Amino acid sequence: MNSLKKSKFKPPSIALWILKLFCRKEYMEEIKGDLQEVFDWRVNSKGPFKAKIRYFLDALSAIRFLRFSKSDSSKFNTAMISSFIKSSFRNFRRHWSYTLLNVIGLSLGMMAALFILEYVSDELSYNDSSQADQVYRVSNDYYRFNKMIYESSMTFSGVGPAMERDLPEVESYARLYSASIGWGGAMILTRPDEPDIKFKEDKLFFADPNIMEFFDLEVTHGTNELGVLNRIMLTAPMAEKYFGSVEAALGKTLRYNDNLTQYELQVAGIFKKPKFNLQVDFDVLISYLSREQSDPERFQNDWGGNAFITFVKVMPGADAGKLEADMSELTLRYRPGYAEKNEQGEYDRVNSYFLTPIANIHLNSKFQNEVGPIGDATTIRLLQIIALFIVTIAWINFINLTTAKSVDRAREVGVRKVMGAKKNELVLQFFTEAFLVNLFALTLAIGFVLLGQPLFDQFVERPLLLKSIDFATFGIPMISTFLLGALLSGLYPAFVLSSHQVVLALKGKAKSTSGIGLRRGLILFQLLFSSLLMIATMAINRQLNYMNNQDMGFDMEQVLILRGPVVREVRGPENVPKIKLFKDRLKSMASVNNVGTATIIPGQGILRGIVVSRVKGGDPSLKSIERVVASNDFLSTLDIKFSSGRDFDESIKGYEPIIINQRAARELGFENDQDAIGQLLYEFGSEEKRIVGVFQDYHHESLNRPIDPMYFIRNEGFDTFYAIRLTADEVSNTLTQIEALYEESFPGNPARYYFLDQYFNNQYKKDEVNSKVFSAFAIMAIIVACLGLYGLSSFSALQRTKEIGVRKVLGAKVKGIFFLLSREIIILSILGFALAIPIAYYGIQQWLDGFAYHINISALLFVLPMLLVLAVTLLAVSQKIIKTALMNPVKSLRYE
Amino acid sequence: MNQSLGALEEIILLLVLREKESYGAELVKLYVNQMSKEITLPAVVMVLKRLEKKGFLKSRVGEPTAERGGRRKVMYEATKMGYRLVEEAMNAKNSIWDMVPKLS
């Protein structure tokens, strides 16, 4: 009966393997037999599943036998291991230069990988809250007549409450609102008792109380009173900024000001920001209720203004897709106008909502009005691949150098074998060496990372949150990668080295032909990868260069942008004389050429949310278009060129003038720019404007995006931004004067300004950082690869010393010998490069497609890196080769 | 040499004393049946080896059998010293147990 059961169920093989690992040889037969018997018995009494689990546990528990081994002569004996280590060190000392080469190459590779790991995990850690699997961000698109009018990362104030109220799967919601987003208006906090203590705050939001829960914010002092009217919560640094200390801040009052409102707020508590990065970064939170109470129409249940960053927490396992669909239905209830259908039975106006898991926002956002820094998932994936490849290149170096060296050590292996060393003991010896080299390299790499941390932070232009030295986060992946690397890089050399034939090895006749194909393949891989990185770096740099030097269609040099005032004594049209006075006084300054005001400046992400029509109230020619409110001199200050018509000026009276760009003229159906002049346009379908000018298209946004239709309307009362064109001289002096004048004209407002070209080029910051990171790691990869080539070439030159001597005696020229020795590497690098071309071509094309305006892929992109790779590899291999080729044949013939 | 017995050692020794000789797998089965709780085989073998080292058991290599996949078993037999030690321990326990008032 037993034998029948036995054939049916076998103990798990992995358990047998574990058993083998732990159990001493002497006990093996007894234990295995007993275990088999117990297993069969358990299969009968408890069933096969339980029997297998128990068998597994039995195998694991055999670990107790390891303790025995100390006094016995097993192969894991410490004396043996210390002997391995000792002879490893002797070997290192004998071949110190080659060991050094290995350690440096490996540590450079590991350092690069650690830095990349750090950068990548920082990018991945946005919104990594404990609630991340249940909290979504709500965004919405708006369509009219089947045309997309806008897509927005922010939605309406009514959406969050409606979702909680009407959708059972939604547990709770939280909104964030900031007056400075979109409008560019600033927010000022003041201590009423000390009016001098006032600052503009950008990281300030009106927030619903749940925000604390959604983003793991910790209230360290006081309580979370974001649900209470007129309460404010601060981070500790903020509290210190205003009140000197955290304790002093609690219960105190702060006054809040923006373009529209003023509140007196009581400090209810201090919160600590989480360990991960926040996509929407804030230091100050004010209870949303305060805002809602003062303007319920806009802030409570509005379905038109999309200025609210909205988060919802759903039940575990709720289907986001279903919620999105439900939301679109729900809109019909709250916006009755949306239920109207056209003749075809389709809705005229459609709002579609999207739920994005909060952790996905940073790397996958497509929104122009996304708040906070936007990363790029592709770059992150590429960097991960690069990290892996750089380390692989370093490991390949180690493998190549060690196997090439195997000839040198053949005699040692022979002697060891004669003295009775078994093959697996030799393998262990070489493993020990590989492990030690890897260990040194890792230690060195960690040292490099620790030392280089500040430099690297500077390099990527922000302090990284997570340090790769942080063992809790990186310990396990680091150690497992390290062990895997040591194993992989040690495995092949260990077997090659230990498999020498005793007799041949002792005679010194062992040839290094074994594994030469593999070595070539590995070198090919290194060169292929280096070439790829080189070409990519080249392409990225050229594209960036192109973008920076492209004519934008307006003059952004020497233009100072000054943010308009927040605290005003009067509101609305009464501001106009004050603004005019300020502008006139600015213009009277010798170093100021021109001044204009506008609601939006170039370089700001725009929303294209406005509709205009050529027919009053008519629908067919409705366009989505960008609208800027500007003063008379704004366009001339930026030196925007007109193709037809004229700029705004004071002589235009009696009607509302409008200026459009050429793109808008085409989309509105004017064939020539002149045709548009004098024509009427209707803003929002009804407000009449007359076109007075058409200006040449300029790049309002970065070259990543196409030029969109846009128009300017005139209003002297909107001074969100002052654009001031300066003459070239005495800039710093002028700035002080402007600052003084501003604070005199608009008391209570700290002046904030920057230069337009800097602001505009900030759009390329992300690409620039990526390009820098790419270039740096490309260079790193090439250095590591060259280290390996250098070692390999010097070794093979050494090996052929005698051959070269003979050749020289027979009349070979130095040049000929040089080519003989470097031929292989030249062929390999050309081959590697040829293989890299199609891959690189495809990759670059994909990348360039993301830019509306980009360079063309030309042969130059490939030729230059090719020459560079060739030059660098030749440089790496030539030094030793030339030395060997020049050697006196008498000396080289005596070699060996 | 340590002449005292741990709780598990005592039970295993008792189980060995039950017959002339015994082996690991059998002891596991007996232990599981008698004590109605699980034990891993290496734990039992470990105890056997320790008892052997202390001189309470002696072992011999048995014949290979088919039901063990042709592997030899190691048979353990209690020594005189082992018997005495268990006897002492049991006597001591019994005499203490006699002092305990019995529940009706």
Structure tokens at A235: 């981070």
Cβ–Cβ contact A411 with B under 8 A: no
Domain assignment present for B59: yes
Is B42–A54 a contact, with Cβ atoms under 8 angstroms apart? no
Q: Measured over all CA atoms, what is the biggest interatomic distance in chain A, rounded to whole angstroms?
A: 111
List % helix, strand, coil for chain B (3-state, nearest 5). 60, 15, 25
Is the residue at B34 inside a domain?
yes
Residue B2 within any structural domain of the chain: no
Backbone angles phi, psi at A794, to 5 degrees: -65, -35
- Whether residue B68 and residue A6 make contact (CB cut-off 8 A), yes or no, is no
CATH classification at residue B30: 1.10.10.10
Is B45's CB within 8 Å of A27's CB?
A: yes
DSSP state of A347: B
Give alpha helix (H) positions in A47-77. 48-61
Counting DSSP H helices and E strands in chain B, the numbers are 4, 3
Contact at CB, B24 and A29, closer than 8 angstroms: no
What pLDDT does A173 receive? Answer: 93
Inter-chain CB proximity A57 and B42 less than 8 Å: no
Is B1 within a domain?
no
- Whether A131 and A313 have beta carbons less than 8 Å apart is answered as yes
- Spans of chain A, pLDDT less than 50: 1-7, 68-75, 468, 620
- Shortest distance, CA A60 to any CA of chain B (angstroms): 9
CA nearest to A33 within chain B = B68
Calculate how close chain A gets to B73, using CA atoms only, in Å.
5
| B67 within a domain of the structure (yes/no) | yes
CA angle at residue B47 from B41 to B50, to 5 degrees?
Answer: 140
Written as tens digits, the pLDDT of chain B (104 aa) is 456 778 888 889 888 988 888 888 889 988 988 888 888 888 888 889 888 888 889 888 887 777 777 788 888 999 998 898 888 888 988 999 989 988 86
Nearest to A58 among B40, B49, B68 (CB): B40
Measured distance CA(A723)–CA(A721) in Å, rounded: 6
Residue B40 has a pLDDT of 86
Which position has the token pair 């005596």?
A894
| Helices marked H in A125-231 | 159-166, 211-214
Out of A2, A41, A64, closest to residue B29 by CB: A41
- In this structure, how many other beta carbons lie within 10 angstroms of the beta carbon of residue A794? 20
B55 occurs within a structural domain:
yes
- From chain B, the residues in CB contact with A31 under 8 A are 24, 41-42, 45
User: Which among A19, A29, A34, A42 is the top mutation candidate for probing chain B, defined by the most B β-carbons within 10 Å of its own β-carbon?
Assistant: A34
Nearest to A31 among B41, B66, B69 (CB): B41
Q: pLDDT tens digits for A2-41?
A: 444 444 677 777 778 777 777 777 788 888 888 888 888 8
What per-residue confidence (pLDDT) applies to A654?
80
**Partner residue facing A38 (CB), from B25, B66, B69:** B25
Q: Is A646 exposed, middle or buried (0-12, 13-18, 19+ CB in 10 A)?
A: middle
Interchain CB contact of A61 with B (< 8 Å): yes
Query: To the nearest whole angstrom, how far is the Cα of B95 from the nearest Cα of chain A?
Result: 36
| Rg of chain B (C-alpha set) | 15
CA angle A773, A876, A443 (to 5 degrees): 55
CA distances from residue A415 to A410, A501, A723, A726 in whole angstroms, order as listed: 9, 11, 84, 83
Q: Do A31 and B25 touch (CB under 8 A)?
A: no
Q: What is the DSSP letter of A896?
A: -
**Which has the closest alpha carbon to A174: A211, A140, A228?**
A211
**Listed residue (A350, A505, A496, A345) closest to A415, CA to CA:** A505
Domain extent at residue B66: 7-99
Helix or strand holding residue A281 (H, E): none
Residue B89 maps to a domain = yes
How many CB atoms neighbour CB A640 within 10 A? 22
State residue A657 phi and psi, 5-degree precision. -80, 155
* Residue A699 Rama label (left phi>0; alpha psi -120 to 50; beta): beta
In a domain, B104, yes or no: no
Q: How many domains does chain B have?
A: 1
Cβ contact A719:A575 at 8 Å: yes
Q: Where are the beta strands (DSSP E) in chain B?
A: 21-22, 57-64, 72-78
Burial of A442 (0-12, 13-18, 19+ CB in 10 A): buried
The shortest CB-CB distance from A3 to any of B41, B67, B74 is to B67
ipTM: 0.86
Rg (CA), chain A: 36
Taking phi over 0 as left and psi of -120 to 50 as alpha, with beta for the rest, A572 belongs to: left
